[in-house]
């Protein structure tokens, strides 16, 4: 387990001690984390805006040096240097957040394994009829997928790869009363996977709304249109096959990201307005 994963695991457990609910602990942690990395989001948004502001000049260079690619690249880089714009600056925050995403996913997976083994241990000590899994509103077991195809209690072949279950041989017998209790029940109604996909689509719409393509006169390409819908579809797939806890994190992260984007847009617009007023006064 990486140090980052262990840190997230400790923070989630700490929040749970105050909240007393793993579902809301994940929501609180995710929104707090999005607030913490807002400076990165703002840096990315500002870098993208500066690059977008240069689009008319870049388009003019494309037209002027259409037949000389080397000269075009040279003049474009000179333009960026003069404007103090780094074309790769908008990608840096994403690269930083990627390992954070995988570490948090690993932390949720670790808690999921621990809670599944805890359920087995309680059933072993108290009897399966006397314990219930961790529920969250419409979801019977937060550590199983929120879908109508997932069972409430995972089958042994789904958990036997977990380190804690390495020496367990009586899983089916111990868990049988709990399985019987939820016989005929599905774990959820696929609400979180749909919310994850819907918020991903809304997030893409907000980004495309505020970030026009490099050439203002160019139409959206087929690749751009495909990516706009591909990521929401992938979001639904990942959340459909992962625990409801992860789906909850994904959805909360999307909401937090959209709030960060709206706040960054507001700050940048205020700065532009103040700059325009200052330049207008200087012109007078």
pLDDT of 252: 97
User: What is the spatial distance between Cα 169 and Cα 156, in angstroms, rounded to a whole number?
Assistant: 9
Determine phi and psi for 49, rounding to 5 degrees.
-65, -45
CA torsion angle 252 255 257 262 (round to 10): -160
> Which stretches in the chain have pLDDT values below 70?
1, 90, 92, 210-225, 281-284
Rg of the chain (C-alpha set): 25
Q: What local confidence, expressed as pLDDT, does residue 36 receive?
A: 92
The dihedral through the CA atoms of 115, 121, 125, 127 has a sign that is positive
Q: What is the pLDDT of residue 217?
A: 45
SS3 call for 139: strand
Burial class (CB in 10 A: 0-12, 13-18, 19+), 151: middle
* Main-chain phi, psi angles of 139, to 5 degrees: -95, 125
For the stretch 58-73, pLDDT in tens is 889 988 888 888 888 8
Beta strands in 127-211 (DSSP E): none
The pLDDT, as a whole number, for residue 1 is 67
CA distance 144 to 116: 9
CA-wise closest residue to 240 among 230, 254, 250: 250
Rounded Cα gap, residues 281 and 77, in angstroms: 32
pLDDT for position 216: 46
Backbone phi, then psi, for 29, in 5-degree steps? -60, -45
Q: How many residues does the chain have?
A: 284
d(CA 203, CA 213): 16
The mean of the pLDDT values for the chain is: 88
Q: Give dist(CA 211, CA 76) in Å, integer.
A: 20
3-state DSSP call for residue 136?
strand
To the nearest 10°, the Cα dihedral for 102, 106, 112, 114? Answer: -170
Closest by CA position to 7, among listed 39, 31, 37, 29: 29
Q: 92 phi and psi, to 5 degrees?
A: -60, -45
């Amino acid at each position: 387990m990486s140090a980052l994963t262990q840190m997230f695991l400790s923070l989630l457990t700490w929040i749970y001690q105050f909240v007393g609910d793993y579902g809301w602990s994940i929501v609180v942690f995710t929104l707090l984390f999005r607030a913490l990395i807002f400076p990165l989001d703002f840096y990315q948004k500002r870098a993208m805006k500066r690059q977008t502001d240069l689009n008319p000049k870049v388009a003019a260079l494309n037209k002027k040096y259409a037949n000389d690619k080397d000269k075009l690249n040279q003049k474009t880089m000179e333009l960026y240097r003069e404007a103090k714009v780094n074309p790769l600056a908008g990608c840096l925050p994403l690269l930083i957040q990627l390992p954070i995403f995988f570490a948090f996913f690993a932390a949720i997976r670790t808690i999921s394994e621990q809670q599944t083994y805890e359920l087995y241990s309680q059933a072993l000590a108290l009897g399966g009829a006397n314990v219930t899994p961790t529920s969250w509103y419409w979801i019977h077991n937060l550590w199983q997928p929120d879908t109508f195809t997932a069972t409430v209690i995972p089958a042994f072949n789904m958990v036997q790869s977990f380190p804690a279950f390495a020496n367990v041989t009586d899983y089916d017998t111990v868990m049988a009363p709990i399985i019987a209790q939820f016989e005929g029940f599905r774990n959820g109604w696929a609400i979180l996977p749909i919310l994850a996909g819907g918020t991903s689509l809304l997030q893409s719409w907000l980004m495309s709304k505020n970030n026009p393509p490099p050439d203002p006169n160019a139409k959206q390409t087929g690749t751009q249109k495909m990516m706009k819908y591909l990521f929401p579809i992938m979001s639904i797939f990942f959340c459909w096959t992962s625990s409801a806890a992860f789906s909850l994190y994904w959805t909360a992260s999307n909401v937090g990201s959209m709030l960060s984007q709206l706040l960054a847009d507001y700050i940048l617009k205020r700065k532009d307005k103040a700059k325009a007023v200052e330049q207008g006064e200087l012109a007078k």
